[in-house]
A and B are shown apart, each in its own frame.
Chain A
Amino acid sequence: MQVTAPGRALLTGNAAAAWAARLARVDYVPAFPITPQTEIIETLSAWIDAGELDCRLVTMESEHAMVAAAGAAAVTGVRVFTATSSQGLLYALEMLYAVAGWRAPLVLVNVSRGLAAPITLEPDHNDVLAARDTGFLQIHCATCQEVLDSVLMAFRLAEDPRVRLPVIVNQDGFYLSFTREPVELPDPEAAAGFVGPFDPGTLRFRASAPLSQGVAVLGGGPYSYFRYEMHLAAQAALSVYDEIAAEFAATFGRRPPPVEAYRLEDADYAFYMTGSFATRAKEAVDCLRQAGWRIGLVRPRLLRPLPEARLRELLAGKKAVAVIDQNLSLGKGGVLYAELASALYGHRGAPLLVSFIGGLGGRDLPPEEFFAMAGVLKAAAHEGAAPPPRLLFTAEELEEVHRLRAIAGAERARLKESP
């Protein structure tokens, strides 16, 4: 669709991300141009080519180089945007740590997809969670509107002198990236007014004024200082986020919260999850409420920093919470589950937590499974103990694996026959 004017339009998550970068008037976009790169970069490059966006786009030889270029450009004091997905984010991982350590304020959109091996093209969150400890702040989106809004907010967050850390805005592959939904496209002047010009402060790296960002080898003491300062800056981003969200609401009439709470007030039970399948959880909440359940949804949009106090406040007094992890820390379990447990541990009124692993590699989460999870919560509350973690995986899916295995069996039989 040729969207040119502000207003409500059907946009994919990829188009929403590109629009946000355009509205933020980014100066520089380094991009690895080949798979798994996204339509976000394609869209921006078409605008630049048509003279609709005054911006420099440079194609790089890898995502590793792309993030290095993004960080280097950001510390010269220009506004930087970039994007990648799945394996690309992992290839950039070393530089994610490095540029966050430089305190380079830039915004990166990640399109979440399951990681190899085996290979899938559909979304889960192990890619973005691999970047969890890098120093990049993380905003996780559930709708295409949120992608646009979050990128605009992310520039403010990254560039705030109290924070000055890079930000990842995460959207799910397919279910947002390729999916069109109605998106309110802000007026360009209002958007530019909200994001504001980039005040680089002391970020003035110039060829004529050499400066080292990757400072020399330090002992553990100074290293601890710099790393912990990043941690404190990330935590400071919580209150900065609230300020930015208030200003965003005043400008655009929407207020993307750090943690979404849906129909939670009188709830005994709650679902807890991130990403685009959370809108399915809301539909399930509505259905369950119709059937007499007192249940809601809690969805952290900010994952770094994690709004722990807010989570405690929202969940205190609930009987049981189903934590649905669209990721798997192999040998431990769901990442959200472990993080929520640590946030609640030892606090008064902490609910029982029941861990579910679901949606790996884009595997569907149909309404029936939300209904069945609610049933598990009720039983757990009745027992006073949580059951072991459960993979959302059905007999039908196991049969499919067995069919594939039958082919593998035939292969093996042939292998043995051949000399």
Chain B
Amino acid sequence: MYRLRFHGRGGQGIKTAGRILGTAFFRAGFEVQDAPRYGAERRGAPIFAYVRAARRPIGERGIIRRPDLVAVADDTLVTIPAAGVLAGVAPHTVLLLSSSTPAEVWRERLQLPGLLLTLPLGEVWEAAAVRFLGATLAGAAARLVGVIPREALVEAIAEELAHLGPSLTTENQVRALAAFDLLAEHAGCVSEGPEPSAAAYEPPRWVELAPEGADLAAPAIHLPATSEAVPTGLWRVVRPLVDRSRCRRCAWICSTLCPDGTISVDGDGFPVIDYQHCKGCLVCAASCPARAIRVVPERQAARVG
């Protein structure tokens, strides 16, 4: 059985990638199971989707613990442990990163035992190409598993994106096929991982739970510390930056309108944004009367400092 995972952020077409690849497998004669996985998150939050495909009915369910392929739409997620991109990566796992950083650099950085490939989509992805990221990744993954014909990929995109109309469907097909062709030399590099064995397995380390008293065992949140410890700022794909030369210090507007309470006011009356928790919704930028809040793509902002 093939076990494949797509990782990205809400809004980057990860669910679509899973569905396109699932349908392409199905059209190629496989039994398929595919599902997106997200919780109460929103756009920008790390999410994933998974696809199982086999020549027999699939009974395995739930998240994929030992993936054969991990395809990542957004390389900023790789180093964020909460995104779980590298969870269960084994020697046979192929890692495909949509990244303008060369594969050699990633290999050096991550020191993974398996094959690591990059799909260079350039800087344009932030504006235009993001709309096609799902189909592009699905096209790449289809080539890497090597058992999906071009026609199945083309038909799967037509089927899954029919609601977008013919011109967008065609553009998605073009992008997906470009990725499919680009990775021709790696066709079939993804292999089906080992199946579980009841004769040799690592037993679960079950533990007994002891009663601990409600003081410890009630799920209470006493202070904002729990929220502080969850860096929701990693959901952000664009960053608001306060331009102090233009700011009129009417900081009560941006600070009260911030839905996450991430804007405080410093001693001089300037707003200060807590980037650990700012999700990049840009309500502040939209409401600033002086237009003193600039918006820059997160990658660019991260490079600047």
Contacts and interface: CB of A to CB of B under 8 A. Distances in A.
Given A2-B162, A180-B34, A407-B226, A121 B219 contact: no
A287 B204 CA distance: 17
B55 interface: no
Interface residues of A, number: 51
Nearest to B156: A1
A182 B37 CA distance: 19
A288 B35 contact: no
B46 interface: no
A330 interface: no
Contact of A394 (B34, B62, B204): B204
B22 interface: yes
Contact of B60 (A280, A371, A372, A390): A280
A104 to B, nearest CB: 34
A165 B33 CA distance: 34
Given A10-B23, A10-B32, A291-B198, A366 B207 contact: no
A411 B204 contact: no
A10 B58 CA distance: 13
Interface in B182-230: 195-199, 201-207, 209, 216, 219-223, 225-226, 229
Interface in A389-414: 390-396, 398, 405, 407-408, 410-412, 414
A398 B212 CA distance: 13
A392 B62 contact: no
B32 A182 contact: yes
Nearest to A117: B219
Interface in A362-396: 364-369, 371-372, 374-375, 390-396
A405 B220 CA distance: 10
Given A180-B22, A368-B201, A415-B223, A283 B34 contact: no
A242 to B, nearest CB: 25
A410 B225 contact: yes
Interface of B: 19, 22-23, 26, 31-37, 39-40, 58-63, 65, 159-160, 162-163, 195-199, 201-207, 209, 216, 219-223, 225-226, 229
Given A287-B198, A411-B223, 18 more contacts: A1-B23, A10-B22, A10-B23, A10-B32, A117-B219, A181-B58, A280-B61, A283-B59, A367-B196, A368-B202, A371-B201, A372-B203, A372-B204, A394-B207, A395-B206, A408-B221, A411-B226, A415-B223
